[in-house]
Amino acid sequence: MADGKTYTLLDGRKVATEIKKEIAAKVKALKSQGKKEPHLAIILVGDDGASSTYVDGKVKACTEVGFHFSLMRFATTISESRLIKHIEQINNDDDIDGFIVQLPLPEHISVVRITEKIRADKDVDGFTNHNFGSIVSKNPLLLPATPNGVMELLRRYNIDTVGRHCVMVGASRIAGAPLSMMLAEQGQATVTICHKYTKDLASHTRMADILLVAVGKPGLITADMVKDGVVVIDIGISRVPDKAKDSGFSIRGDVDFNGVAPKSSFITPVPGGIGPMTIASLLMNTLKAAEQRKH
Ligand code: NAP
């Protein structure tokens, strides 16, 4: 490569910008047919700094593509039953095409109970059991946003997954579990799933043609844990103290980028990799939900 790098950066920010342009054009077309623009609602409980930053990013993205958005903020003290009442109202609000409940929620509120109250055809994060299960059906519905963002990034860089060995490190409900299913179902890959009970993690990660990591432990994957030519997808986002930054922290992924990048063929940066793709994926789901509601 001209700049001396041996690897290609999987530039999620650039791809997300392309996707947003495509969505903006579709919104324009909808409006020119006399239809309304898609409407995304976001529920934010409490004042967690990271959550507010993520929500700001989502609101900005809605504005960029011409979606209507509603931000509904509630105090940390809101009860679970009261939050459910608001969710039921949104479920029945004909103007809202899709909505998300920003995680994490305060400890007294059950994420599982809240998620299952969201109407599946408005669940644009793709968290409900209905949408999660549709991954393995012939007719996938609203696919989980982060995994779908990963699959879209692989597609846009023409990275073939068919028959390749994908090793997924992390098996959470929002990232690792659905992504491993999507890689096997849509990607027709051979998939190994690793989690915190996996013995000798490195013996698995070294086998990976495509290594995907969603754990939340900065620098967990080091150069000695990957083979030459590996494709690396780093989903992890952690704030680590950094006195050099005005904010007092910097954002790190689960992969030791400087060590691993020279051995890889393709690698995502953090930030600027899967984060922007997750937002793009949320917008794609909202557009899909709106189109299916046929306003
Ligand atoms: P999570 O719910 O805490 O899940 C972490 C997963 O990692 C679990 O499956 C856990 O195993 C596994 N794990 C923990 N320690 C491990 C180890 N030493 N080796 C292998 N696996 C290990 O977290 P999450 O919600 O999936 O998030 C993971 C990371 O991705 C976080 O940094 C989060 O901020 C980031 N994230 C980013 C985006 C994005 O848009 N880029 C979206 C979602 C999440 P067990 O299942 O056995 O507990």
Residues 249, 158 share a domain: yes
User: Nearest 5°: CA angle at 120, between 173 and 29?
Assistant: 110
pLDDT of residue 3: 65
CATH of the domain at 47: 3.40.50.10860
Contacts of 45 (CB under 8 A, 6+ apart): 73, 74, 75, 76, 78, 83, 101, 102, 105, 106, 109
Neighbours of 261 (CB within 10 A): 18
Pocket test for ligand 1, best of 195, 281, 283 (most atoms within 8 A of CB): 195
Q: What is the pLDDT of residues 39-98, one digit of tens each?
A: 999 999 999 988 999 999 999 999 999 999 999 999 999 999 999 999 999 999 999 999
- Looking at the domain assignment, is residue 27 inside a domain? no
Q: Which residue, 231, 240, 238, 249, is CA-closest to 275?
A: 238
Residues 172, 270 share a domain: yes
- Looking at the domain assignment, is residue 124 inside a domain? no
What stretches of 190-260 show up as alpha helix (H) in DSSP? Answer: 201-205, 257-260
Q: How many domains does the chain have?
A: 2
Whether 94 sits among the annotated catalytic residues: the reply is: no
pLDDT of residue 295: 54
Residues 190, 69 share a domain: no
The percent of residues in the chain predicted with pLDDT above 90, rounded, is 95
Query: What mean pLDDT value characterizes the chain?
Result: 96
User: Nearest 5°: CA angle at 194, between 15 and 275?
Assistant: 20
Whether 186 sits among the annotated catalytic residues: the reply is: no
Mark which of 85, 119, 153 sits at the end of a domain: 119
Query: Which band of pLDDT confidence, cut at 50, 70 and 90, is reported for residue 5?
Result: confident
Q: Which structural domain range is residue 77 located in?
A: 33-119
Q: Active site residue: 20, 97, 102, 234, which one?
A: 102
231 vs 154: CA distance, rounded Å? 10
- Residue 74: strand pairing partners: 45
- Looking at the domain assignment, is residue 265 inside a domain? yes
Find out whether the beta carbon of 239 lies less than 6 Å from any atom of ligand 1: no
Task: Reply yes or no on whether the pLDDT at 139 is more than 60.
Answer: yes
Long-range contacts of 192-196 (CB under 8 A, 24+ apart): 192/165, 192/166, 192/167, 192/168, 193/168, 194/167, 194/168, 194/169, 194/170, 195/169, 195/170, 195/171
Separation of 294 CA from ligand 1 center, angstroms? 36
Task: Reply yes or no on whether the pLDDT at 294 is more than 80.
Answer: no
Residues 240, 196 share a domain: yes
Find out whether the beta carbon of 126 lies less than 6 Å from any atom of ligand 1: no
pLDDT of residue 122: 98
- Looking at the domain assignment, is residue 292 inside a domain? no
pLDDT of residue 232: 99
Find out whether the beta carbon of 175 lies less than 6 Å from any atom of ligand 1: yes
**Average of per-residue pLDDT across 249-264:** 97
pTM score of the predicted model: 0.96
**Host H or E run for residue 230:** strand 230-234
Task: Reply yes or no on whether the pLDDT at 1 is more than 80.
Answer: no
Pocket test for ligand 1, best of 167, 174, 196 (most atoms within 8 A of CB): 196
- CA dihedral 271→142→187→156, nearest 10 degrees, is -50
Task: Reply yes or no on whether the pLDDT at 225 is more than 80.
Answer: yes
User: Nearest 5°: CA angle at 280, between 121 and 71?
Assistant: 65
Residues 269, 181 share a domain: yes
CATH of the domain at 242: 3.40.50.720
Separation of 176 CA from ligand 1 center, angstroms? 7
Spatial contact of 263 and 243, defined as CB atoms under 8 Å apart: no
Spatial contact of 274 and 234, defined as CB atoms under 8 Å apart: yes
- Looking at the domain assignment, is residue 284 inside a domain? no
pLDDT of residue 293: 81
